[in-house]
């Protein structure tokens, strides 16, 4: 039951301005209806539309925001950051399968150490996995972060990311 609409309408349905860009291969130009080109050059993450509404529509967008921050080192627009803080409890309404998939994707990304630091800092990990958030904030957290750094280094070099069982072990082994 998808309604495609115009390119402008499609761009408005995207989550962040950096994901709202199109490319015209015939003219070899970027088409930007939402200010994403400027935000990329400024290193800024901003939602398309009201961030509170967007996060409540799909709370997994908050994980994606932190994913982009971890992978690209971009800043978060003040209104988007405030909305994440206000809406973080919405994350527990997300499908566990979608959350797990996003976590595994980040473990495979080569930026998992930074991602989990950001998840703790933003308070999202304490909503999803409070026991892990507490552990990461304690003395044992360094062991997890050290393993995540090792797997990040491996994943940046390898043709295929490490096996998901190995990735999960990076999070769990120091705890166990």
Looking at residue 150, its pLDDT comes to 96
Range 144-173 average pLDDT: 95
Is 151 a residue whose pLDDT tops 90? yes
4 falls in which pLDDT band (50, 70, 90)? confident
Per-residue pLDDT tens for 10-56?
Answer: 888 899 999 999 999 999 999 999 999 999 999 999 999 999 999 99
Q: Residue 44 in 3-state DSSP?
A: strand
What pTM does this model have? 0.90
Residue 56, class by beta-carbon neighbours within 10 Å (0-12 exposed, 13-18 middle, 19+ buried)? middle
- Length of the chain in residues, anyone? 176
């Amino acid at each position: 039951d998808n309604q495609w609409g115009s390119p402008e309408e499609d761009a408005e349905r995207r989550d962040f301005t950096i994901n709202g860009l199109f490319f015209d291969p015939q003219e070899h130009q970027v088409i930007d209806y939402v200010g994403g080109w400027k935000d990329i050059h400024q290193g800024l993450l901003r939602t398309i539309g009201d961030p509170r509404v967007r996060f409540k529509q799909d709370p997994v967008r908050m994980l994606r925001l932190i994913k982009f921050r971890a992978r690209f080192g971009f800043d978060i627009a003040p209104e988007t950051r405030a909305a994440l803080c206000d809406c973080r409890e919405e994350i527990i309404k997300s499908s566990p399968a979608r959350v797990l998939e996003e976590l595994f994707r980040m473990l495979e990304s080569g930026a998992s150490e930074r991602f989990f630091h950001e998840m703790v800092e933003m308070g999202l990990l304490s909503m999803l996995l409070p026991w892990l958030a507490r552990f990461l904030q304690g003395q044992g957290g360094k062991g997890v972060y050290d393993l995540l750094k090792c797997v990040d280094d491996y994943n940046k070099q390898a043709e295929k990311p490490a096996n998901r069982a190995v990735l999960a072990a990076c999070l769990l082994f120091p705890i166990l």
